[in-house]
Amino acid sequence: MTVRPIRIFGDPVLRTPADPVTSFDAELRALVRDLEDSVREPGRAGVAGPQIGVSLRVFSYNVGGVVGHMVNPVLSDFDGTQTEEEGCLSLPGLGFETTRAMRVTATGFDLNGEPLVIHGEGFLARALQHETDHLDGRLYVDTLTGDVRRQALRELRRVVPR
């Protein structure tokens, strides 16, 4: 079991779009195992490749006790909205009201290159969107607007070491 350390805000890998996975090999299978081991830690709902320093389009999730992963995800069929407090392992100790789609479909592949479709609703939809954002070099605070965004940026300046 390998739980990998999480990269923290300020690390350039978090702001760089991840590369598509092109080889479904032993290296990818080891990465997926590490991601799934890492997401099993208490209080974790998702871990993306960039969060452990690997710039590949793969993430794991742990929602309702179900642990899974997706390689090269593409999101579609956004429907409805939900606004809840959202946090991120790469922004420890911070959480802000964030609006996401209530339902979303993620299509991609499993670690063996087999097609995979996940229909997410509620918290699973939020996790799929959050983790896919990581693969695009985005953090949830990038989605915030207005006063909430200003508050988040103030908090980031306060807590992020310079």
- Catalytic residues, by residue number, are 131
Single-letter amino acid, residue 47: V
Are 128 and 73 a contacting pair, CB within 8 Å?
A: yes
Bridge partner list, 70: 59
Are 9 and 160 a contacting pair, CB within 8 Å?
A: yes
Binding-site residues for Fe cation: 88, 130, 134
- What is d(CA 145, CA 98) in angstroms, rounded to the nearest whole number? 9
* 71-to-45, 147, 154 alpha-carbon distances in Å: 17, 35, 34
- What is d(CA 116, CA 107) in angstroms, rounded to the nearest whole number? 6
